Amino acid sequence: MDTEMISPALITSLGFGLGALFGAIGNKTNFCTLGAVSDLLNIGSSVRMRMWGLAVAVAILGVWGLETAGLLGTAKSMYGSQRLLWLSHVVGGLMFGAGMTLASGCTSKTLMRLGSGNLKSLLVFLVVGLSAYMTLKGLFGVWRVATLDRVVIDLPASQTLPALIAALSGADPANLARWLPPLLGGAAVVIALASRDMWGPDRDPILGGIVIGLIIVGGWYVTGHLAHIDEHPDTLEEAFIATQGNRPESLSLVAPFAYTLELLMLWSDQSRHLTFGIATALGMVAGSLAYALATGAWREEVFPDAADFKRHLLGGVLMGAGGVTALGCTIGQGLSGLSTLSLGSIITTASIIAGCALTMKIDYWRMMREA
């Protein structure tokens, strides 16, 4: 948009709607990164991993379409930075992957389970939010900034693959940006759909992949186009209304967990506002709740014993600290970040999957030892 001031309420309402759709569809299709890794390792099923891959592919193609049409500039987002915090991505990703395994699901699954009546997820939400806030601005943040964030590679261009490859090879960046995303996105679609198991009677994996991918694209459109003004009337600077960092973003959940708690605790502070990220997180709970009530799937679930409580508590701490350290979670990096073909997002996502798989293997080893 130009200089016309758009209502922050409109941006947050659209964020809530996108989150609600994610919660409902994610609940219906059982969309879950942890479940995808678990299915692949434990029973040899690639269906949920393919569903996640289809969502990434649709998001890549959608973001490419928006950028080609001049409706979005992801270079202004955090994924377009020339500073690659590679060690933070690796360590934070491993922590998050281990945490989501211990806590029975990543941040999006936590919100969807909370909407379905799982009270264990309420604890995880609160602990993730507290741990994330401590890693953003508190005790863990001091450690993060003083150690991991000091290990940086200054890249010759944006860390998105088209820009980076162009800078390193001397190729035309505009040409690479025009052809690389659709080639990679198209190949990912083919790989995701190249299994008979994806074409079952209910087609839920295809539905989940396509709709969730489009939700990520919708998030980029709302914050990167609808919320964009060239000159804010108060600051006279470029602005992205109702975003947390005043830049384009799509769905991401770890920092919004922290800022949701902050907003609730400091509600009377006029400098605190509802943002797109907070609204999407709340929307996921609402959408999952609506689906659970409509289908009769709402069930209360509590901790069966102290060991399960401690497991989820530790998982929440690792997810909050790891997600902030890695600059995102399975949604913020594994979907929104990958849709921009960001190198940091690729590193984080691979590290999350590695941390998840390693924790599962350790759990299995402990079970066999105790048997």
pLDDT (tens digit per residue) in 296-332: 999 999 999 999 999 999 999 999 999 999 999 999 9
d(CA 32, CA 14) in angstroms, rounded, equals 23
- Residue 241: per-residue pLDDT: 95
Residue 2 pLDDT level (bands cut at 50, 70, 90): very low
Domain range summary for the chain, segments of one domain joined by +: 8-370
Condensed to tens digits (0 to 9), the pLDDT of residues 148-179 reads 999 999 999 999 999 999 999 999 999 999 99
Condensed to tens digits (0 to 9), the pLDDT of residues 192-241 reads 999 999 998 889 999 999 999 999 999 999 999 999 998 877 777 899 99
Report yes or no: 260 and 245 within 8 Å, Cβ to Cβ: no
pLDDT at 1 over 70: no
Q: Collect all residues with Cβ–Cβ distance below 8 Å to 176 and sequence separation of at least 6.
A: 162, 163, 165, 166
Residue 135 pLDDT level (bands cut at 50, 70, 90): very high
For residues 111-140, average pLDDT? 96
Looking at residue 106, the DSSP 8-state letter turns out to be: -
φ and ψ at residue 31, rounded to 5 degrees: -70, 120
- Residue 232: per-residue pLDDT: 79
d(CA 349, CA 165) in angstroms, rounded, equals 20
Neighbours of 126 (CB within 10 A): 14
pLDDT at 4 over 90: no
Condensed to tens digits (0 to 9), the pLDDT of residues 54-104 reads 999 999 999 999 999 999 999 999 999 999 999 999 999 999 999 999 999
- Residue 272: per-residue pLDDT: 86
Neighbours of 352 (CB within 10 A): 32
Of 360, 325, 319, give the one whose Cα is nearest residue 344. Answer: 325
